[in-house]
């Protein structure tokens, strides 16, 4: 992991916390992860020559590296963990049963 993965994770968790009261924890996490995924796909389209130069799904299938995968996977995992672990989430309920 490099610093961009941590930055993306921090930004995703911040926006999840800000949007949570309005749309819920799962939707808030999904929205910000969709933004990061769209950003990565757009960067891959740009690397292929731009949106008008490549076929429709070019950015989805080409130019992916471990770094670009982790740029959206790290925030996705962090947001999913927070949504599961916070009060009312599945992990929270499992913990409450064991007490």
Residue 3, Cβ density class (10 Å: 0-12 exposed, 13-18 middle, ≥19 buried): exposed
Residues of the chain with pLDDT under 70: 48-62, 88-89
**Spatial separation of the C-alpha atoms in residues 92 and 83, rounded to whole Å:** 10
**Spatial separation of the C-alpha atoms in residues 38 and 5, rounded to whole Å:** 16
- State the pTM of this model: 0.77
pLDDT at 58: 63
């Amino acid at each position: 992991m490099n610093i961009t993965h941590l930055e993306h994770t921090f930004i995703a968790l911040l926006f999840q916390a800000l949007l949570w009261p309005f749309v819920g924890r799962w939707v808030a996490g999904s929205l910000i992860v969709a933004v990061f995924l769209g950003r990565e796909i757009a960067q891959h389209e740009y690397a292929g020559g731009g949106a008008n130069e490549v076929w429709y799904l070019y950015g989805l299938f080409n130019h992916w590296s471990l770094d670009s995968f982790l740029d959206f996977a790290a925030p996705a995992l962090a947001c999913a963990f927070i949504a599961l672990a916070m009060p009312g989430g599945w992990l929270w309920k499992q913990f409450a049963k064991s007490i």
